[in-house]
Amino acid sequence: MKIYDCIFLDRDGTINPDPGYISSIENFKFFDYTIPALKNIANLGNRFCIVTNQSGVSRGLIRQDALDNIHNYIEQEFKKFEIPLLNIYTCIDHPDNPSERRKPGPGMFLEAEIDHGLNLMDCLMIGDSYDDMKVGEMLGMDTMLVLTGRGQDTVEHLADYEMPTHIVRDLTQGSEKLCL
């Protein structure tokens, strides 16, 4: 069992299904296992940040106020279930014109490091994409690839030297692995 300084979570495909651009709160829902799995991990003494690319805003597919409503809902649910969420970091950059904040860039993680006094090398990145694994590896974090969302496709295209610290079916299996 390892307690991390912070566990960074990707959003779409990791904590919730990813049907494409989620443009309203009515279209957002957690995987059934998300809250229980995160609660188990939190009970060990871990805390979380969500780091999410949301280019749908810059593409005109998601309104900023709708994205804010979704993130307010996520924050309320974490609070209701006593899951310590430090912050939700969002990058709305279009992939054709990304800043360092857009994953796999380190910007959102460096902001979190400063905001919360984190040691990124004592953190874990959980996500379903190559970009999630790449940024975690680049910053010296442990990485956990969930096979939900794009995870199955991601694992099939990783080179042997790019393998994450952990590969798990979903957050439930991830929480079991972390609670050992």
Give the residue carrying structure tokens 């295209």.
157
Pairwise CA distance, residues 132 & 51, whole Å: 9
Q: Give all domains of the chain, ordered by start, each with its CATH number.
A: 6-178 (3.40.50.1000)
Q: Per residue in 124-154, is it b (16+ CB within 10 Å) or e — as a string?
A: bbbbbbbbbbbbbbebebbbbbbbbbbbeeb
Q: Give catalytic residue positions.
A: 10, 12
CA atoms lying within 13 Å on the CB side of residue 4? 26
Beta partners for residue 166, in sequence order: 144
Give tens-digit pLDDT for 100-131: 999 999 999 999 999 999 999 999 999 999 99
Specify the pLDDT at position 2. Answer: 82
Pairwise CA distance, residues 155 & 129, whole Å: 9
**For residue 1, is pLDDT > 80?**
no
